[in-house]
Structure 1
Amino acid sequence: MSSFKQEPHKLLVIPGPIEVADEVLYANAHPSMSHMSADFVPVLGDCIRMTREVLYTTTAQPFIIAGSGTFGWDQVAANLTEPGDSVLLLNSGYFGDNFTECLRAYGAEVDEVRANFGAAADLGEVAKALNAKKYKLLAFTHVDTSTGVLSDAKAIAETVKRVSPDTLVVVDGVCSVGSEEIRFDAWGIDVVLTASQKGLGTPPGLSILVAGQRAIKAYEARTRPVASYYGSWKKWIPVMQAYEKGSAAYFATPPVNLIYAYHASLTQITKGSPSLEERFALHRQASKRVKDAVAALGLKQLPFDSAFAANGMTAVYFPEGIKASDIVPRMLQKDVVIAGGIHKDHKDEYFRIGHMGITVANPERGDIDKIISALKESLAEAFASKKSA
């Protein structure tokens, strides 16, 4: 293992990208390699296998492709829907809005079960919608990064299985994979899409999607050509299968260095200490610490019920009289980078803190202590400044 250490830098605790381990950043600096090299083949092959482990699946097909998490929406829309297909979208924030827009761009007819701001979709309304109409797939954002709202993936999948068992269950897990428990096979999920830069602890640039066998069969049964060139599973399935079997294949050049970094992070997550189960527990513990500290400061969380508050991030309303320019720059001066709001109707009302990956899995770093201390000091300074003004 290298003795490489990152340069001192501000603590990045937005809801992604997140801090990455020294070993991951060092792996990203691997000498330039051919994507057809015999040395690279097992690296991508291992990434495919370890991605399955993170999601507790044995038979689903991972796709690891250059792109952002957003590209996962295009893969779902292009490969699993055809113009006129009915889709039910459970909307709990900004990213639900955008997923709907993407699906409609490919011709899907999208109905929404919209949650109130700060809440997850009501399962009773979901069941009612599924009873009223036949849907090709149901999609939802597991953690909507704009609100910090966590949807109950297990309960949603159970509802679909009970009410409309032929409907595919698609999970946007961009802000949840690696920080929230997802049991792909046991819960009956058909697709999880995610990205490298959040709970998976890798620099941004990889679109990671896992498709179960029901989803693959639905793709194979489509009657029209896939309305995407780069995103077509016809192009990517042979590539992924070849690398997993131990031989190189080509459609488009993969980001070789980034895949080395992803391999380093996955190795820590699936084979290192803490274990994957322990990692989920650490995320829950860190989340509670941050949320308890927020409450002790008299601040209100955006999710209005702790039952649907994410473990990998916290969204917090500004107190009365305080705005982003009072808090975010002060946190920055204390070398802590947080994020403002993003939801189009409420973006000036709240801020967001990410607590994922090594920030929580390596508690000896003291990141959570630093976040809480900086927030207390920044809030006190902001109130003092208002009083003296």
Structure 2
Amino acid sequence: MAPHKLCMIPGPIEFHEDVLAAMSTPATSHVDPNFVPIFGESIEMVRKVVLSENAQPFIVSGSCTLGWDMMVNLLEQGDEVLALNTGYFGDHFSECLEIYGANITTLKADVGSRPTNDALKEALSSGKKYKMVTVTHVDTSTGVLSDIKAIAETVKSISPETLVVVDGVCSVGSEEIRFDDWKLDIVISGSQKGLGVPPGLSVVVASQQALKVFKTRSSPIVSYYSNWNKWLPIMEAYESRKPAYFATPAVQLIYALHASLKAITSQPMEVRFNEHRKVSSEFRQTIRGLGLKTVAQCEECSANGMTAVWLPEGIEIPQLVPSLASKGVQIAGGILDGLAGKYFRIGHMGISVTEPKRGHIDKVVEALTSSLTELGYKA
């Protein structure tokens, strides 16, 4: 790949050369016999990434946010939703669900923390019947990692029919997700983060329990493009190696997704999970060694695919981001309301982690250390 500024934000991430090459196909019909199995295999490999045997993946042209919109298939007017909130994206996921008639009850933690399991138990035992519990697995505004295994266990033990809906936009492909074992119902993601593919694909995985709720709803689905009545037959057809049509898929992006998923699933997912854990732990140690503090308040609540870091006193985002950019590294500022200018965010996902010989993480550390020194910071 030609030399370029490394994109080390929490997504889009750096893309493998094979992924980019896979996009360089001639114009191809979405019902071409050469493309049909590519789409079908991609659906099957998404299932492998989240460690599921019988969940239903949906791969649809659109941003990750389209996955939020797809919850219209499960929600009906007046449904109660319990939202576990760890930052900016928890706020906006709830905003989306409210548009579709949900009544939101929010459990919100201090910045850098996450709601406790005791608070979750109390809310579930309050007498209110929740249609779903939503949680952002990794909120990229804070770098906080939610314990979705414990959350799902608690929810299902108290209210088995309540759906566990996971915003896994910044976790699928970099964080441990065991869809079947943990009894998850929805995982929402997209192409440009842990899956290592350019932006443009929304990826949603639904349990059989979620599909039953969808199929037995009592009111019409108030959406056209997001409607699973349109998309489920398409996914089933392509997985059966048959062409089908509702809306034109992003053919070249699906070729790219196929290339990335083949690489990801070429080894046990546990290997990938452990690689991300190791690199993120070492990166946080480096950050602390520089005298800096992460936004996430504890190790167990720190994401493995990205890190949010408080700025040291006297240094501002308009200084730090351009300084790293001049050294060939793109990082991101903060996005939390009222705190956006007080911290920065760095992604460490995909090939930057799994192929250490590329030197991406080393270059980030070198550029960050150098920039802080140039800006007058002393650890």
Q: Scaled by the length of structure 1, what TM-score is found?
A: 0.96
Alpha-carbon distance in 1 for matches of 2:184, 2:352: 28
Tell me the residue number matched to 2:16: 21
Partner of 1:328: 321
Q: 1:203 aligns with which of 198, 202, 223?
A: 198
Computed over aligned residues only, the root mean square deviation of the Cα atoms, in angstroms, reads 1.0
Q: CA deviation at 1:276?
A: 2.3
- Within 5 Å, give how 1:1-389 maps onto structure 2: 6-76=1-71, 78-132=72-126, 133-271=128-266, 275-383=268-376
**1: CA distance, partners of 2:125 / 2:91:** 23
Where 1:277 maps in the other structure, the secondary structure is: helix
Deviation at 1:232, TM superposition (A): 0.3
Q: Aligned pairs, how many?
A: 377
Partner of 2:134, secondary structure, is: strand
Q: What's 1:3 paired with?
A: none
* Aligned-residue offset at 1:8: 1.5
Aligned mates of 1:271, 1:330 — CA distance in 2: 38
Partners of 1:81 and 1:121 in 2: CA distance: 24
Within 1, Cα distance between the matches of 2:132 and 2:269? 29
Unmatched segments (≥5 aa) in structure 2: none
CA distance in 1, matches of 2:114, 2:351: 27
SS at match of 2:152: helix
1:297-330 superposed Cα distances (whole Å, 9 cap, x missing partner): 1001001111100000010000011111221111
Aligned AA for 2:361? I
Report the Cα distance in structure 1 between the residues aligned to 2:247 and 2:355, rounded to whole angstroms.
36
Structure 1, residues 153-187: CA drift from partner, whole Å, max 9, x if none?
Answer: 10000010111111000000000000000000000
Give, in whole Å, the separation in 1 of the partners of 2:270 and 2:263.
Answer: 13
> What letter matches 1:376 in structure 2?
T
Runs of 4+ in 1 over 2 A off after TM superposition: none
Task: Give me the whole-angstrom Cα distance separating, in 2, the residues matched to 1:155 and 1:219.
Answer: 25
Identity among equivalent pairs (%): 55
Give the TM-score of the pair, scaled to structure 2. 0.98
Deviation at 1:219, TM superposition (A): 0.4
1:186 partner SS:
coil
